[in-house]
Chains A and B, each alone.
Chain A
Amino acid sequence: MKRKLLMNAIGGISDSHIGEFAEVKPQKKGAVVWMLFVSVAACLALLLISISVINNYVNTPEGSVSAIPYVKINDMVYIIDSNYPNTTTNELSDEYIVIGKVERNPSSNKSQEKDNGDAIGCKVGDEIFQSPDLPNEIYVYTTLFSSSGEYRYVRFICKE
């Protein structure tokens, strides 16, 4: 009798609970597991892409290039100052002289040997300036990272 009482009580549950599951379509077995896998994979992919994008843009100025900009001149490699854009200037003092120009934009293959005149990020023909008193830095007159295409002096430093 008790079980019948309970069964009858279940029979009297609200219409909302009855109607909620009146028409339930069969699901493919394993569909729930597959959906979980797909969801997790999608989240992971999104996370990886986000990390890659954020990493590419953190400390990277507007109009980023795919590799770290550098210039090789006089057998020394200068890479863009990490304090960019704070070290960019529209004018240089008189002691800065032209020591060369960008001659090539090689591929960003790190294993490839760099030659004098190679540069990544700066255009061929961009002038390279240096002060004789400061051999560990150069300025390149370039539109690098300029969204408006404006020329200014961008600082590169030698880590060696």
Chain B
Amino acid sequence: MPESATNILCNHQDAEECVNDYYLGVWNAIPPKRPNSLLAFVCRFVRNISINRYEYNSAQKRKGVYDVCLDELQECISSDETVESEYNANELSRLIDEYLDTLDNTNRMVFVRRYWYIDSFEDISSMSGLSEGAVRTRLSRLRSNLKEFLQSRGVIV
């Protein structure tokens, strides 16, 4: 579980602290929350706490994997394009779910591990059995397809 925290924060100590924050947060959240999937709830909790900590530690000079992932996603929405204002994050999440459902198992794994779990190319390569170059190529193609998908849904103009 600290894996995604370490990926985002690039610092094992910070990641360990996030996990401690997570345990406390889950203790306080359940109940009243009753998540359908405890695993997903746990992963989501750690991720969000890690991102918040990362943004708090914005004095970092070295780009972590999280920053690189953000830069990669920049390709999906170029500077002269706008995101329709009526789309909020929840609706976009639903559309991305829809997009993920169109992918085969390997591509979906590569996308989710990169942009949700913030894994490095090397880690995704070892998980998928693909070479790092193949992972990069696939991600580039997936981002391009995501852009087309969002354009076809009228999200990006």
| A22 adjacent to B108 (CB under 8 Å) | no
Interface residue ranges of A96-132 to B (CB < 8 Å): none
Point out the residues of chain B lying under 8 angstroms from A8, CB to CB.
89
| B77 adjacent to A3 (CB under 8 Å) | yes
Do A17 and B100 contact each other (CB < 8 Å), given the known contacts A5-B89, A22-B40?
Answer: yes
Main DSSP-derived SS at the B contact region: helix
CA–CA, A11 and B8, complex, Å = 13
Partner-contacting stretch, out of A25-33, A37-45, A149-157 = A25-33
Give the total of A residues in contact with B, Cβ under 8 Å: 30
Does B129 reach chain A (CB closer than 8 Å)?
yes
Does B10 reach chain A (CB closer than 8 Å)?
no
Does B29 reach chain A (CB closer than 8 Å)?
no
| Interface set of B (CB-CB < 8 Å, partner A) | 35-37, 39-41, 43-44, 47-48, 51, 69-71, 73-74, 76-77, 83, 89-90, 92-93, 95-97, 100, 108-109, 112-113, 115-117, 125-131
Please, could you name 28 A-B residue pairs with CB atoms under 8 Å apart, sorted by A? A2-B77, A3-B74, A5-B83, A5-B92, A6-B73, A6-B76, A9-B93, A9-B95, A10-B96, A10-B115, A10-B116, A11-B47, A12-B93, A15-B37, A15-B40, A16-B37, A17-B108, A17-B116, A18-B37, A18-B43, A18-B112, A21-B108, A21-B113, A22-B39, A24-B113, A27-B126, A27-B128, A30-B129
